[in-house]
Amino acid sequence: MKGKGNEGVARKLFIRTYGCQMNFYDSARMADVLAPIGYVPAEGPEEADMVILNTCHIREKAAEKVYSELGRLRALQHEKAAQGGRLVVAVAGCVAQAEGAEIMRRAPNVDIVLGPQTYHRLPEMVARAHRAGGGGGVLDTDFPVEAKFDHLPEQAAPQGASAFLTVQEGCDKFCTFCVVPYTRGAEYSRPVADIVAEARRLVAAGALEITLLGQNVNAYHGEDEGGRARSLGWLVRRLAEIDGLARIRYTTSHPLEMDDELIAAHGAEAKLMPFLHLPVQSGSDRILAAMNRRHDAAHYLRVVERLRRARPDLALSSDFIVGFPGESDADFRDTMRLVEAVRFAQAYSFKYSPRPGTPAAAIQDAQVPDALKAERLAELQAALQRDQRAFNEACTGRTLAVLFDRPGSRPGQLAGRSPYMQAVHAPLSGQALGRILEVRIERANASSLAARPPDGQADAA
Ligand code: SAH
Ligand code: SF4
Ligand code: F3S
């Protein structure tokens, strides 16, 4: 029997996550918050009593997905209701924060709308939604004064061999194209003691690798036990003291916040993996200024040079936007030049998408036509893919330590990540799952590597 609001009766929860890794972390924490009131994971929306869409507002396409998904869920809600049941639908994340009231208006089948800073209050919202019985939704998109991290359960579902840990949230940078400062709010750093405790719990539950997350993770300045503000570089070295933790990563960084302590950590701390995602957006000083990135291309190249001096094998990744308002051919050439200079191991690139409420979207007469954006994107992506392939090919014949954390796409295969974040697959049995193994790279594909298992490697030696 399915209880309405009865504690101790298992109800099924399905969460669909869009957007960045912080949203994936948040989804896991929402599941943790709902576990004590009886929610267990569902395989899909069809068998769920509650579906949460954890949404992303970064580009128009991402935001529009929400409404089409809500349309599909409405049909499911009707089916459930016809059988005397109920499917509660919640919209969380950055679209919820940005346009909560509009969601309620456009999609009356939504029971709950909650922002990224209020999900510790979910049990209360669920209870209210059940009391309302389908009429009238619950909207909670506050930026509460209490930090949600202080109200989340310590007990967390295990994340496996590679785990995420949010250390910093929000952004005060206000790049002119970006919604994040509005959807996530002001920068906030969690205290060191909380992070160390959470890291220890993750390691005890089987994590070998922890990725420290933040919208501006290297702006981290949390207080240590003595009340002193500490940098991310310091935090990395502190976490590296945890026995059993083999790998540390962090994402996403801003070029202005790569301080000496963090760059030094790349040279000094073997557990800090030789891979860094460092978004640059553009190689044109004029566009960087219009984006309010607050640094020029030369600054970025200097940071890269210092990082490579500290850690010569560091692999770099980045984000690019083409077609920012006013971007000329000459500006785009500057971006291509920066790509040639750095040679990224991997990268993400996007057409500029005007976002409501951001300063760049209000620039009336300088929007770049879509066809030109598409042309530039294709040229940029061809260069980035060429560099990624070259980086991958340079790894063939090498032995790399791979953390195998998931089944491969074919039976009898496992997949994992190299120190440089490359996807690697190898013919291995399930026994190797959750382990770091030295494997020999046999073949490079466009975006992954094929490896030979350790015994084959012994033959080759
Ligand atoms: N905090 C990170 C990035 C957050 S968003 C940073 O400071 O770089 C992830 C990426 O989405 C950005 O790096 C940017 O390349 C892209 N992006 C953000 N807003 C965008 C927009 N309006 N149009 C296109 N791409 C955008
Ligand atoms: Fe957005 Fe800029 Fe903040 Fe990154 S630094 S989240 S791109 S405003
Ligand atoms: Fe998207 Fe929000 Fe992350 S807008 S990229 S989910 S911070």
**Structural domain range at position 434:** 399-452
Of the residues 21, 56, 58, 257, which should be mutated to test ligand 1's pocket, given the most ligand atoms within 8 Å of the CB? 58
| Residues at CB less than 6 angstroms from ligand 3 | 19-20, 22-23, 56-58, 93-94, 179-180, 183-184, 215
Residue with CA closest to ligand 1 atom 19: 178
CA of 198 to the centre of ligand 1 (A): 28
Residues 86 and 202 in one domain: no
Residues 238 and 274 in one domain: yes
**Listed residue (32, 26, 23) closest to 123, CA to CA:** 32
Establish whether residue 252 lines the binding site of ligand 1, counting it when its CB lies within 6 angstroms of any ligand atom: yes
Atom of ligand 2 nearest to the CA of 178: 1
Establish whether residue 17 lines the binding site of ligand 1, counting it when its CB lies within 6 angstroms of any ligand atom: no
Query: Residue 82 sits in a domain of what CATH number?
Result: 3.40.50.12160
In a domain, 6, yes or no: no
pLDDT of 330 reads: 98
pLDDT of 6 reads: 46
pLDDT of 134 reads: 65
In contact, 443 and 396? CB cutoff 8 Å: yes
Closest ligand relative to 183 C-alpha = 3
pLDDT of 460 reads: 35
CA of 296 to the centre of ligand 1 (A): 17
pLDDT of 1 reads: 39
In a domain, 287, yes or no: yes
Domain final residue, candidates 373, 394, 415: 394
Residues 126 and 155 in one domain: no
Residues 135 and 116 in one domain: yes
Beta strands in 345-421 (DSSP E): 346-351, 399-407, 413-417
Residues 377 and 229 in one domain: yes
CA of 200 to the centre of ligand 2 (A): 30
In contact, 21 and 164? CB cutoff 8 Å: yes
In a domain, 460, yes or no: no
Closest ligand relative to 175 C-alpha = 2
At 194, is the secondary structure helix, strand, or coil?
helix
Establish whether residue 355 lines the binding site of ligand 1, counting it when its CB lies within 6 angstroms of any ligand atom: yes
> What's the rounded Cα separation, in Å, for the pair 66 and 166?
24
Residue carrying structure tokens 């922890």: 210
In a domain, 457, yes or no: no
Domain final residue, candidates 123, 143, 163: 143
Query: Residue 280 sits in a domain of what CATH number?
Result: 3.80.30.20
Of the residues 168, 180, 300, which should be mutated to test ligand 2's pocket, given the most ligand atoms within 8 Å of the CB? 180
Residues 127 and 186 in one domain: no
Angle at 89 between CA 85 and CA 91, to 5 degrees: 175
Domain final residue, candidates 121, 143, 165: 143
Quick one: DSSP state of residue 121? G
pLDDT of 80 reads: 94
Residues 193 and 317 in one domain: yes
In a domain, 299, yes or no: yes
In a domain, 2, yes or no: no
Residues 21 and 51 in one domain: yes
Residues 232 and 329 in one domain: yes
pLDDT of 455 reads: 64
pLDDT of 97 reads: 95
**Domain count along the chain:** 3
Across the 461 residues of the chain, what is the mean pLDDT of every consecutive 10-residue run?
50 96 94 95 96 96 89 95 94 95 92 94 93 79 81 83 95 97 95 97 96 97 97 98 98 97 98 98 98 98 98 98 97 98 98 95 90 98 97 97 94 96 95 95 94 60 31
Residues 166 and 315 in one domain: yes
Residues 273 and 381 in one domain: yes
In contact, 70 and 89? CB cutoff 8 Å: yes
Residues 114 and 215 in one domain: no
Of the residues 25, 27, 58, 169, which should be mutated to test ligand 3's pocket, given the most ligand atoms within 8 Å of the CB? 58
pLDDT of 99 reads: 93
The one-letter code for the residue type at 320 is F
Residue carrying structure tokens 């922002």: 115
Query: Residue 417 sits in a domain of what CATH number?
Result: 2.40.50.140
| Residues at CB less than 6 angstroms from ligand 2 | 171, 173-175, 178, 180-181, 215-216, 254
pLDDT of 10 reads: 84
> What's the rounded Cα separation, in Å, for the pair 265 and 211?
15
